[in-house]
Amino acid sequence: MLATRLHRAPQSLLSIATRSVSQRFYAAAAGEEKLKKTALYDFHVEQGGKMVPFAGYSMPVQYKNMGQLASHLHTREKASIFDVSHMLQTRVVGKDRKKFFETLVVADLHQLPVGQGTLSLFTNEQGGIIDDTIIMQQDDCLYVVSNAACADSDLAHIRKHLADFQNKGGDVDLQVIDDHSLVAIQGPSAAAALQELVGKDLNDFGFMHGKFMDLAGIPCHVARSGYTGEDGFELSVPTPEVVDITKKLLAYPGVEMAGLGARDSLRLEAGLCLYGNDIDATTTPIEGGLTWTIPKSRRETGGFLGADKILAQIKDKSLIKRRRVGLIVQGAPAREGAEILDKEGNVIGNITSGCPSPCLKKNIAIGYVKSGFQKKGTELSVKVRNRVQDAVITKMPFVEAKYHK
């Protein structure tokens, strides 16, 4: 009944959402000549995946049996599998690994317990965000996952500072994990589906924690995290086994494959940033609404790139010129680049991401406005195809997160 109901959703909403993400993903790969393939490429094609260029890879944007809108709602109600093997996985090793990596990110890695992870940010000397990343504390290393589109620039950045640190006698090294694939299973049924493979209850496995576990007898790293606002897991699986593990997860009742289209609209409902759209090298963590990623200890000691500018903005709010906000938009959906206006018609910012929310049946957007306009309930306007439409600042996430505590 769920699939029938979803496939009968209004065609206008379905086509608008699918067209938006397809255009973005095709545009993201403009000029790329030869696309890479993940180990699941053939499996995606067999499953009816519509393959599009994204971050140098050929990736599924949606599947024949379930379009983007249906896939989005299915993830919220049951569970979906996403291939995220294009993401960059690395290990930072050596006795000075925490000291070194704290010069590049805003996290306090010395206080992060083994088995726990954190969302953090790579920053530059100007206080801008080079990339967002998940860092997991393991017994003998830091396990780091960062964005596919930033992989080459992230590696160059890390290696440049790594060489300087090593030349000064630091004991640290970087290892790219190229023999494991990454798969995410997200949604209310994710834990039940994964339990079938691990053979034990996962209720005591908290959000943003990671463990080494056997999945159907295969040693894997499992992190309880994701990019949808739902409960779920990211599985680092030996590449030769990833198709088999994916098939076993897919065999659980109600689990379906999902593509980049649903992943994008899910993360937007969850108020999560897409690097290159909602945050970039010109955006400070404070402007991007990510001050919470900088713990008290790092605010006191600094020591990361751009700390002077970033910490100054924390102390003196007059230095913050713009703010990332969530908006509900009337009329047509507001897309990336649309102007945000005050009630006098003055341009005060721009939309960075936007789509119709499948869950709320409203148009949602993320954007930046001049400081002073960020208060919840502030009435503004957005210019969409030369038409001025009403909008209002609203809190994020747009749809309440359901992370397992």
379 close to 361: Cβ distance less than 8 angstroms: no
Q: Which of 339, 363, 337 is nearest to 265 (CA)?
A: 363
**Torsion angles phi and psi, residue 26, rounded to 5:** -65, -45
Q: How many angstroms from the chain centroid is the CA of residue 313?
A: 25
- The verdict on whether residue 102 carries a ligand-binding annotation is no
Around Cβ 146, how many Cβ atoms within 10 Å?
24
At residue 202, what is the residue type?
L
Residue numbers belonging to the annotated binding site? 234
Detail the residues annotated as belonging to a binding site for substrate: 234
